[in-house]
């Protein structure tokens, strides 16, 4: 039996006997949908662009047009992208009652488009905007890519900014608390396509591990999570999820047939 097959079988065993499985995803789950990752290859975003020029509050103050141009470019990629079998597989596991929640670092909205219902977006969503004026609470969901950039707040005329977490900014405490609460309940976590180096997000699988839960990782290369993963599936997310979901469905059907 290949290492791959053995790790998929072990994964199915863990998740079928888990009481509270959650998923933790990163940019790698959307790579096969054509959305660039941040790290890990020469065309990753942080190999090509400087985060301090594009993804900090200071960068936005200095040059909001430049920041918006970059977000409009990313939005045009994401708009064309379709959820792949890994996003769809997580939605199916939720539908089957196996997966309880997806905690994602991604801002692309592909989990929701795949049909997942309970999603916690730690780093915001690229299709939402908020007013950059801290005393204005305006927030909106964009229907499409903004035609005029930088867009302005309809209430106070300050500039609108993407409702995403930038370097140097804290996570929304309510969203973080929900994610920690899910991780504290979980007895297993499926970690997919993350380098596991950005904190506090990368604490989520660690919380599950420290409370005695099992950590299953799917990644094409080793990450910050790999040293403590109970199962490491070295494979593309879409293939691994297709195989996991198929075997879970087979087990469920076999259980039904025997009762």
Q: Which residues are catalytic?
A: 123
ω into 200 cis (within 30 of 0): yes
> Is 7 an interacting residue with respect to ligand OAD (CB under 6 A)?
no
Give buried/exposed letters for 105-124 (b at 16+ CB in 10 A, else e).
bbbbbbbbbbebeebbbbbb
Q: Alpha carbon of 10 to those of 146, 168, 204: distances in Å?
A: 46, 39, 22
Instruction: Pull the structure tokens for residue 30.
Output: 């959307």
ω into 150 cis (within 30 of 0): yes
The DSSP H or E segment spanning 183 is helix 173-185
Q: How far is the CB of 242 from ligand OAD (least distance, A)?
A: 12
Whether 211 contacts 221, CB under 8 Å: no
Closest residue to ligand OAD, Cβ-based? 28
> 95: which DSSP letter?
H
Give the residue, chosen from 75, 237, 241, 248, that forms a contact with ligand OAD under the rule CB under 6 A: 237
Question: Which stretch in 6-14, 66-74, 88-96, 193-201 sits in contact with ligand OAD by CB under 6 A?
Answer: 193-201
Q: How far is the CB of 256 from ligand OAD (least distance, A)?
A: 31
**How far is the C-alpha of 226 from the C-alpha of 217, rounded, in Å?**
7
Q: Which residues contact 187 (CB under 8 A, 6 or more apart)?
A: 18, 19, 20, 21, 208, 212, 213, 214
Give the residue, chosen from 193, 204, 229, 245, that forms a contact with ligand OAD under the rule CB under 6 A: 193
Give the residue, chosen from 223, 229, 241, 243, that forms a contact with ligand OAD under the rule CB under 6 A: 223
Q: How far is the CB of 218 from ligand OAD (least distance, A)?
A: 6
**How far is the C-alpha of 16 from the C-alpha of 99, rounded, in Å?**
10
Give the residue, chosen from 211, 221, 228, 254, that forms a contact with ligand OAD under the rule CB under 6 A: 221
> 134: which DSSP letter?
T
Q: How far is the CB of 155 from ligand OAD (least distance, A)?
A: 26
**Footprint of ligand OAD on 19-78 (CB under 6 A):** 26-28, 31-32, 37-40, 44, 55
Taking residues 139 to 178 in sequence order and writing x for each that binds ligand OAD by CB under 6 A, - otherwise, the string is --------------------------x-------------
Q: How far is the CB of 65 from ligand OAD (least distance, A)?
A: 20
Residues in contact with ligand OAD by the rule CB under 6 A: 26-28, 31-32, 37-40, 44, 55, 105, 123, 165, 193-195, 198, 218-221, 223, 236-237
């Amino acid at each position: 039996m290949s290492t791959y097959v053995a790790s998929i079988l072990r994964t199915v065993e863990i998740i079928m006997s888990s009481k509270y499985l959650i998923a933790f995803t990163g940019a790698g789950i959307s790579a096969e949908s054509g959305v660039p990752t941040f790290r890990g290859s020469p065309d990753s975003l942080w190999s090509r662009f400087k985060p301090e020029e594009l993804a900090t509050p200071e960068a936005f103050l200095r040059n909001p047009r430049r920041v918006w141009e970059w977000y409009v470019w990313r939005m045009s990629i994401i708009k064309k992208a379709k959820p792949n079998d890994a996003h769809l597989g997580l939605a199916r596991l939720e539908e089957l009652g196996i997966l309880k929640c997806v905690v994602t670092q991604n801002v692309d909205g592909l989990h929701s488009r795949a049909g997942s219902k309970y999603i916690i977006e730690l780093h915001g969503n690229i299709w939402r905007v908020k007013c950059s004026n801290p005393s204005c609470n305006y927030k909106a969901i964009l229907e499409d890519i903004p035609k005029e950039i930088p867009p302005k707040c309809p209430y106070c005329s300050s500039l609108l900014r993407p409702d995403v977490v930038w370097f140097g900014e804290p996570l929304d405490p309510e969203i973080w608390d929900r994610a920690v609460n899910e991780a504290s309940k979980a007895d297993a976590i499926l970690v997919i396509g993350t380098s596991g180096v950005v904190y506090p997000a990368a604490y989520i699988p660690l919380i599950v591990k420290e409370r005695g839960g099992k950590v299953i990782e799917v990644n094409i290369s080793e990450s910050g999570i790999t040293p403590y993963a109970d199962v490491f599936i070295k494979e593309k997310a879409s293939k691994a999820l297709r195989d996991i979901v198929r075997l879970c469905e087979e087990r469920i059907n076999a259980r039904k047939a025997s009762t």
